[in-house]
Amino acid sequence: MNTCILGIESSCDDTAAAIIKDGRLLSNITHVQVDHSKYGGVVPESASRQHDRNIVPVVDEAIQQAGISKSDISAVAFTRGPGLIGSLLVGVGFAKAFALALGIPIIEVNHLQAHILAHFIEEPHPGFPFLCLTVSGGHTQLVRVDSHLDMTVLGQTLDDAAGEAYDKTGKMLGLPYPAGPEIDRLAKEGNPESFHFPEPRIKGLDFSFSGLKTAVLYFLNDRTAENPDFIKTNLADLCASIQQRINTILIAKLRRAVRETGISEVALAGGVSANSGLRAIAQHYAEKDGWQLHIPHPPYTTDNAAMIAITGYYKFLAGKFADQNITPLARYPI
């Protein structure tokens, strides 16, 4: 019998649905909520309302594009958390009602585990055990992955996430939200050695980005007091220097994790792994230190439902189903 999983993602500002049949992706639909950029960040109430409007058409499109009918679906996998509670409620409520109506099971998915399992949407898959650096707008973690469903967090951020570091420093430069992709684009024209921002000294495999944020703020305040056009005339160099510092903080810990665990199968995951500078520096160390490096294609790095469906598929095979009385979790550690 075929195993056909409908995956639903609604943890932040993207409404997404995907179909995976026997581990193969048949459709992957994402409705991106664009209007948050004018407010400089995601407005939770607006995000929930848009999920509420979009969830039915997005799921319909995923089913149609997959060329299946509702009766072919074996189970519904959905993001339980972490995320914005109002946004999660829409996906969780929809998944439960949809599954109840069809008489099929539901599977709850941890969004952070799903970012890691995005590596199993396409071949080649990483071999176990592997280390995964998950870098997104809300999370920064180093995870040891022993099997699809057995993961241990080795280190994480003590304050801001790497994506937040991009978005908040980008906001100081006057860039629209989310600033990460904009910084990436502008950094290509700039010199990363132009400005030097400090590297924090954090023990073990944990990360910190709040010091960098404050350093950039004070630096920009000082320079713009002398020259009001400072940001405008140095924008590319500022982006390149900030990007380089965020990425060197991340890579230093990743290299340390490889040394400490002896695992050289290495993966990047999450929205920030779309960053071309991070990809290049990871590639550099992969060659230098002999890592087998895995980076998903950009559509599978940012939030998507294919990663929820593939996680649902492995949980389905392991018989890990949820009860109808399940509720979302705004905080949900791996």
- Minimum distance, C-beta of residue 231 to ligand KG4, in the bound complex (Å): 19
- Minimum distance, C-beta of residue 139 to Zn ion, in the bound complex (Å): 7
Asked if 275 interacts with ligand KG4 (CB under 6 A), we say: yes
**Residue 160: which of ligand KG4, Zn ion, none does it interact with, CB under 5 to 8 A by kind?**
none
Task: Give the Cα separation of 115 and 118 in Å (integer).
Answer: 5
Q: Cα separations (Å) of 77 from 12, 145, 213? A: 17, 21, 37
Position among 94, 166, 313, 314 found at the interface with ligand KG4 (CB under 6 A): 166
Q: Are 84 and 329 in contact (CB under 8 A)?
A: no
Asked if 184 interacts with ligand KG4 (CB under 6 A), we say: yes
Q: Which residues contact 206 (CB under 8 A, 6 or more apart)?
A: 155, 156, 157, 158, 253
Site for ligand KG4 in 134-153 (CB under 6 A): 136-138
Asked if 311 interacts with Zn ion (CB under 5 A), we say: no
Task: Give the Cα separation of 20 and 312 in Å (integer).
Answer: 9
State which residue, 4 or 235, has the beta carbon closest to ligand KG4. Answer: 235
Asked if 157 interacts with ligand KG4 (CB under 6 A), we say: no
State which residue, 5 or 165, has the beta carbon closest to ligand KG4. Answer: 165
Q: Cα separations (Å) of 291 from 85, 156, 188, 189, 257? A: 38, 21, 25, 29, 12
State which residue, 10 or 234, has the beta carbon closest to ligand KG4. Answer: 10
Q: Which residues contact 303 (CB under 8 A, 6 or more apart)?
A: 9, 11, 12, 14, 16, 30, 111, 136, 271
**Residue 163: which of ligand KG4, Zn ion, none does it interact with, CB under 5 to 8 A by kind?**
ligand KG4
Asked if 270 interacts with ligand KG4 (CB under 6 A), we say: yes
**Residue 272: which of Zn ion, ligand KG4, none does it interact with, CB under 5 to 8 A by kind?**
ligand KG4
**Residue 180: which of ligand KG4, Zn ion, none does it interact with, CB under 5 to 8 A by kind?**
ligand KG4
Site for ligand KG4 in 285-304 (CB under 6 A): 302-303
Nearest to 6 by CA among 86, 130, 91, 125: 91
Report the b/e string of 144-173 with b at 16+ CB within 10 A: bbeebeebeebbbbebbbbbbbbbbbbebb
State which residue, 75 or 329, has the beta carbon closest to ligand KG4. Answer: 329
Asked if 79 interacts with ligand KG4 (CB under 6 A), we say: no
Position among 27, 54, 136, 275 found at the interface with Zn ion (CB under 5 A): 136
- Minimum distance, C-beta of residue 184 to ligand KG4, in the bound complex (Å): 4
Task: Give the Cα separation of 89 and 329 in Å (integer).
Answer: 9
Q: Both ends of the chain: CA-CA distance in Å? A: 31
- Minimum distance, C-beta of residue 80 to ligand KG4, in the bound complex (Å): 14
State which residue, 167 or 237, has the beta carbon closest to ligand KG4. Answer: 167
Residue 86 CA neighbour count, 13 Å, CB half:
12
Chain contacts with ligand KG4 (rule: CB under 6 A) = 12, 136-138, 163, 166-167, 178-181, 184, 270-272, 274-275, 302-303
